[in-house]
Amino acid sequence: MPVSAALQALRPRLPFVPDLAIVLGSGLGALADSPEAKAGVSVPFTDLPGFPAPTVAGHGGRLVFCEFEGRKVVLQAGRFHFYEGHPMALVTAPMRIYGRLGVKAVLLTNAAGALNTAFGVGELMALTDHLNFFGTNPLIGPNVAPGPRFPDMTAIYDPAFRARLQACARDLGQTLREGVYLGLTGPSYETPAEIRAFRTLGADAVGMSTVPEAIVARHEGLRVAGISCLCNMAAGLLPQPLTHQEVLEAGAAAADRFEALVRAFVRGLEL
């Protein structure tokens, strides 16, 4: 994945260097059509060499550079998933680009299934940590300088950002859960036996993204925050099969709360 070619195409179109990147997962996509985004500069993925059009229907992937809650941000609508057959280098290419541009922090959002039975469908969860079950690591291969060969992942999800998310949720009267996100390839959902195993391993939520991006963002020196929208109870926890449709519906139902939390987080954020 030629990050440098994509950067070369992107730089002349940048209105500014953003401080913060926000990756919009299921449930937050509408932010890319917000008034702020409409007033910004939109760059379709397909304008960047090496970036294919996303295969998941409905969203044209794009980067939107805009003023958002008083900050210069880039909103990333659409992401590349490993289950689409893309190499990790492409899955994580946006993080490399943000690092190279001088972006200071990234907020990764996603839809996930809840394993913790104290949590409910439609609730939001700040990531405290993750379990990498992709069976690979996006840093495999020659080290990308200046990141370290063996980067520390002790506080991959920035503790100050987590505290700020909690404070914002409190001010909004929202419940914000906290927990460990287990990332795996998909695209099949998990079996009930897998979910039982993952619960004993300490996972609170499970999903098919975020982990590779968080690792590469840290390698680039970005501060990272992560929020999951818990769109379903994980396989076997309820006496019914999982459908992508219910995930989408729960994401849509949580969208306003999700957006309010993200806006509050960005407003007045110190970077």
Q: Which tokens sit at 33? A: 């059509």
Give alpha helix (H) positions in the chain. Answer: 3-10, 35-38, 88-91, 93-101, 159-172, 192-200, 211-219, 244-266
Identity of the residue, 176 or 208, whose beta carbon is nearer to ligand HPA in the bound complex: 208
Q: What share of the chain is helix, strand, coil (3-state, %, to 5)?
A: 35, 25, 40
Identity of the residue, 66 or 242, whose beta carbon is nearer to ligand HPA in the bound complex: 242
Does residue 180 bind ligand HPA (CB under 6 A)?
A: no
Identity of the residue, 47 or 84, whose beta carbon is nearer to ligand HPA in the bound complex: 84
Q: Which tokens sit at 129? A: 């940590």
Does residue 206 bind ligand HPA (CB under 6 A)?
A: yes
Q: How far is the CB of 99 from ligand HPA (least distance, A)?
A: 26
Q: How far is the CB of 244 from ligand HPA (least distance, A)?
A: 8
Q: Hey, is 29 helix, strand or coil?
A: helix
The residue count for binding ligand HPA (CB under 6 A) is 14
Q: Are 136 and 83 in contact (CB under 8 A)?
A: no
Main-chain phi, psi angles of 218, to 5 degrees: -65, -40
Task: Render 123-148 in DSSP notation, one character per residue.
Answer: -EEEEEEEEEESSS-TT-SS--TTS-
Distance CA 101, CA 106 (A): 13
Does residue 121 bind ligand HPA (CB under 6 A)?
A: no
Residue closest to ligand HPA, measured at CB:
113
Q: How far is the CB of 141 from ligand HPA (least distance, A)?
A: 26
Identity of the residue, 121 or 216, whose beta carbon is nearer to ligand HPA in the bound complex: 121
Does residue 254 bind ligand HPA (CB under 6 A)?
A: no
User: Which residue has tokens 């070619």?
Assistant: 5
Among 127, 231, 254, 266, binds ligand HPA (CB under 6 A): 231
Does residue 203 bind ligand HPA (CB under 6 A)?
A: no
Among 92, 109, 210, 232, binds ligand HPA (CB under 6 A): 232
Does residue 234 bind ligand HPA (CB under 6 A)?
A: yes
* Contact residues for ligand HPA, defined by CB under 6 A: 111-113, 186, 189-190, 206-208, 231-232, 234, 242, 247
